Each structure stands twice: as C-alpha cells, then as structure tokens.
Amino acid sequence: MKEFKGKVAVITGAASGIGKAIAERAAQAGMKLVLADVDAAGLDKVVAEFSQKGCEAVGLRTDVSRESEVMALADLAFERFGKVHLLVNNAGVAATNTAWTAPQSEWDRVMGINLYGVTNGLRAFVPRMLEANEEGHIVNTASAAGLIPAPSFASYNASKFAVVAVSEGLHHDLSLRKTKLGVSVLCPEWVKTSIHTSVQHEPDAKLTAARQADPVLMSITSTVSSAVETGISPDEVADKVFAAVQAKQFYIITHQKTTLPAVEKRMQDMLQGRNPSMMKFN
C-alpha cells in the first residue's frame, strides 16, 4: 500500500499510546479515520482533536472482545466512508500471572481483548475489504512477547503468540488467493504507553491481592514498569508501522538489536535440544 491520502484507516485502541500515534500518523498522511477504544471519554477527546485539525474522523466506543461491537464498528466505517483500506487491530491489555494461578476469568479477559479483538476485527472487516478489491493492508498488534515468552506473563504470552500465528496464517491465506491486501504483525518491546497499568487496574480484587503476595510477580511488574518508562515513543512505533505498510513488510520488530538475537537464541534452543532460555528484561 503506497498511497494513503484520501484512504480510510480503522484503528482500535486509538485513545492513547501506539493506537493514537498511528492515528496521528494516518491523519498526517491525509487519511480519513475511524477510531475505536473502550475508553469513551478518551476516544471522544482524540476524535475532537483530529476534527479540529481538519481531519475527517469518527469514533465509536468499542469493546473489541465483543464481536457485535466490532461488527457495529465495521458498519459505521463502511456506512460513513464506503471503504476501508488500512485496518489496525491494536487494542490490548497486559497481565502478569502464572499458568497455575491465573483464573479462567483472567484468561478470558486477556485472550478476549488481545486475541479475539484481532479475530473479531478480521471477521468484521476483511470480507468487505476483499469485496472492494482495492489495495489495502492489515496490521495486527502482537508483542515481542509473541516471539519470546516472558516469565510471569502466562496469559499475555499465549495471547500474543496466537496473534503472531493468526497473522502468519492470514498472510498465507491472502497470498494464496492473490488478493490486494497486505499483512503486518507489530511486535514491540518497551514503548512508553499505559498498557502496563492495566495490570494495576484489573477488575478482580482477589487476583490483585494474590499477585501482590507473590514477590516474583511484584518484582517483574516493577521491572516492566521501569522498562516501559525508558522505552521508545509511540510516535517511533507509528513511523515503523507506516514504513512497513508501504514496503509490504510482514514483521515489524521495533527493537531489532534485542528482539532478534533473543528469537535466534530461542530457535537454537529448539534445534539443539536445550531447555528454553529465559527472556531478560532490559
């Protein structure tokens, strides 16, 4: 996808962080925006900011884990603008937990937003994007944790590995059918966003108390918070996303100097029959 001016972008998780930065980059390129977020007040503020700058923008409060709400978002996009050219399934939530302590409700919450938010987006938008038969692109936000499993992020790792796998399969399926849609999977490491605070504001008070009683989880949560504070800006990520879309580049690795060696080490562990190396929090 080479040209953006006058095209339509749909972005979930757009009220803050990476989603907002991608929306800003899209607006700068002259795109029309359909923005979604579960934070209605934050979304309204962002849509108003874009509208004041002369950008055609519309927003809809959307819980991406609910298929009906994502379908409503698609209806809004196609009714308002007729077509969608760039779909960014970006909404996400973080969680620190272990596989043996995270209750089903925690797995449902994390998988519902991080994974089903993506698959709901694909079902809602891709059929109509294919029907339009125009050049377009899909970006699914995963994580470096979708390439290298981090300790004490059981449900988060699973959700992000699944997003990478879904995206790879999507790329193959669209390629086999010789469509005009490209696919990218975004795998960021540390970025200055508020996603890590979702761990601190989870809905289950008992789960929060149990987490606070585990010194390993608390140590990792603290380390992650510090790493995020010194991470790259969402604007840098947005620039990498648009460069990848233009180049039809599938993997968007924001921290190549650290992520790629870790991925290689993981592959070598498999090839050489070693036990898995532990991801280091830099």
Distances 146 to 10, 63, 116, 270 between C-alpha atoms, Å: 23, 22, 15, 16
Whole-number pLDDT of residue 202: 53
Say if 278 falls within a structural domain: no
How far apart (Å, rounded) are the C-alpha atoms in residues 134 and 125? Answer: 13
b/e map of 121-133 (b: 16 or more CB within 10 Å)? Answer: bbebbbeebeebe
Supply the pTM of this predicted model: 0.93
CATH number, residue 33: 3.40.50.720
Give the range among 15-19, 42-46, 182-186, 200-204 with minimum mean pLDDT.
Answer: 200-204
Give the whole-angstrom CA distance, residue 134 versus residue 157: 34
Q: Tell whether 2 is covered by a domain.
A: no
Confidence at 201, pLDDT banded by 50, 70, 90: very low
Q: What is the pLDDT of residue 203?
A: 59
User: Which residue of the set 81, 156, 190, 242 is catalytic?
Assistant: 156
List, for residues 143-199, the tens digit of each pLDDT value. 999 999 999 999 999 999 999 999 999 999 999 999 999 999 999 998 888 765 554
Instruction: DSSP letter for 39, please.
Output: -
pLDDT tens track for 208-238: 666 677 888 777 777 777 767 777 999 999 9
Q: Report the domain count for the chain.
A: 1
Contact 62, 70 (CB under 8 A): yes
Q: Length of the chain, please? A: 282
Query: Is 277 a domain residue?
Result: no
Is residue 116 part of the annotated active site? The answer reads no
Written as one letter, the residue type at 276 is: P
Task: State the DSSP H helix or E strand holding residue 178, giving kind and residue range, or none if neither.
Answer: none
Amino acid letter, residue 271: L
Residue 248 lies in a domain: yes
Q: How far apart are CA 205 and CA 211, in angstroms?
A: 10
Residue 223 lies in a domain: yes
Percent of the residues in the chain that have a pLDDT greater than 70, as a whole number: 92
Tokens of 230: 């010194």
Give the separation between CA 39 and CA 210, rounded to whole angstroms.
Answer: 27
Residue 194 lies inside a defined structural domain of this protein: yes
Within a domain: residue 3? no
Backbone angles phi, psi at 88, to 5 degrees: -120, 100
Domain that holds residue 226: 8-271
Q: Which amino acid is at 261?
A: P
**279 in a structural domain:** no
